[in-house]
A and B are shown apart, each in its own frame.
Chain A
Amino acid sequence: MLIYQALAGEPLYCCMTKRQVLLETISALLIMLFLYASISKFLSFRVFILEMNNQPMPNSLTPFLVWTIPSLEIAIATALIFERTRQAGFYASFALMTLFTIYTVVILLHFFRYIPCSCGGVIRKLTWRQHLVFNLFFVTISVLGILLKRGNFLNTITSTKNKNSFV
């Protein structure tokens, strides 16, 4: 119901609609995730390199991945802060989280010859199943962010409903 009201842009307080509040909350959650994950990686960089080496992919990719992943996470967090780049940030967040989710599913399906340990600050304490739920949550809110930012999502549904009621 809250999401429905938010998508419809119903006013919440004097100055922000529920849609805006939800948009800001989603952005804040994604910013916290990406900033926390990237800073944790840079703070324990040597450990992060070791953990990347332990992932079931060629170690030759490690020098590339250890810089690309946290940099990408910081770039997405930055894009989500500013109104003009937020839509792109939601798309990028959706893409990255979907990739992480696919990787988690592949690991859980025992596609690789062993199940590696996970990495990234406190997130390393999660099991791969918890990781999957965690990732799916952030994929979902990224999609919600895209839809809310588009704004016309519910309008399209409402107008289709109204048209049908006249027929």
Chain B
Amino acid sequence: MKKMKVTIMALAILLSIGGAFATKLRSDDACLTATQYHKVGTAYVPCGLYGTNFDCSVSSNTCTYWMNPATNQYEQCHIGTWAFLQ
């Protein structure tokens, strides 16, 4: 019985640690911590810190963009509706 319990617990721990590493944000990480831009017309304007200067509320729109150094183009970063805070 103890062996079965230990097996279940070990499996749960391994799965959660493995799952966390497997689903770790990789490309998103770079985008989310980079300078965020808000699109005004055709221009991209730096919009400050997420949660401090602006918010993104749930929607399927593009909230902010970032400059991807690999492609040298503005790409979608946060999804949602952009809202100015301060």
Q: How far is the CB of A53 from chain B (nearest CB, A)?
A: 3
> Restricting to A100-117, which residues have a CB under 8 Å from any CB of B?
114-117
Give every chain B residue within 8 A of A31 (Cβ-Cβ).
9, 12-13, 16
Interface of chain A, helix or strand or loop or mixed?
helix
Residues of A within 8 A of B32 (CB): 46-47, 50
Question: Which of the segments A34-42, A88-96, A155-163 contacts the partner chain?
Answer: A34-42
Interface residue stretch chosen among B17-25, B38-46, B67-75: B17-25
* A50 in complex: contacting residue of B20, B21, B50, B79, CB < 8 Å: B50
Q: Which one of B4, B21, B55 contacts A114 once the chains associate, using CB atoms below 8 Å?
A: B55
When distances are taken between beta carbons in the complex, the residues of chain B under 8 Å from A69 are none
- Say whether B23 contacts A121, CB under 8 Å: yes
The contact size tier of chain B is 20 to 34
Contact flags (1/0) for A42-61 with B, using CB distance below 8 Å?
01101100111111000100
For the complex, what is the distance from the CA of A84 to the CA of B2, rounded to whole Å?
14
Are A39 and B51 neighbours in the complex by a CB distance under 8 Å?
Answer: no
Nearest B residue (CB) for A43: B24
Q: Does B28 contact A43, Cβ atoms closer than 8 Å? A: no
Inter-chain pairs besides A53-B51, A54-B51, 19 sampled, C-beta below 8 Å: A28-B9, A29-B12, A31-B12, A31-B13, A35-B17, A40-B23, A43-B24, A43-B25, A50-B33, A53-B49, A54-B50, A54-B55, A55-B51, A59-B51, A62-B51, A77-B16, A116-B57, A117-B79, A121-B24
Q: 8 A-B residue contacts at CB 8 Å? A: A15-B4, A16-B1, A24-B8, A43-B21, A47-B29, A47-B32, A50-B51, A117-B58
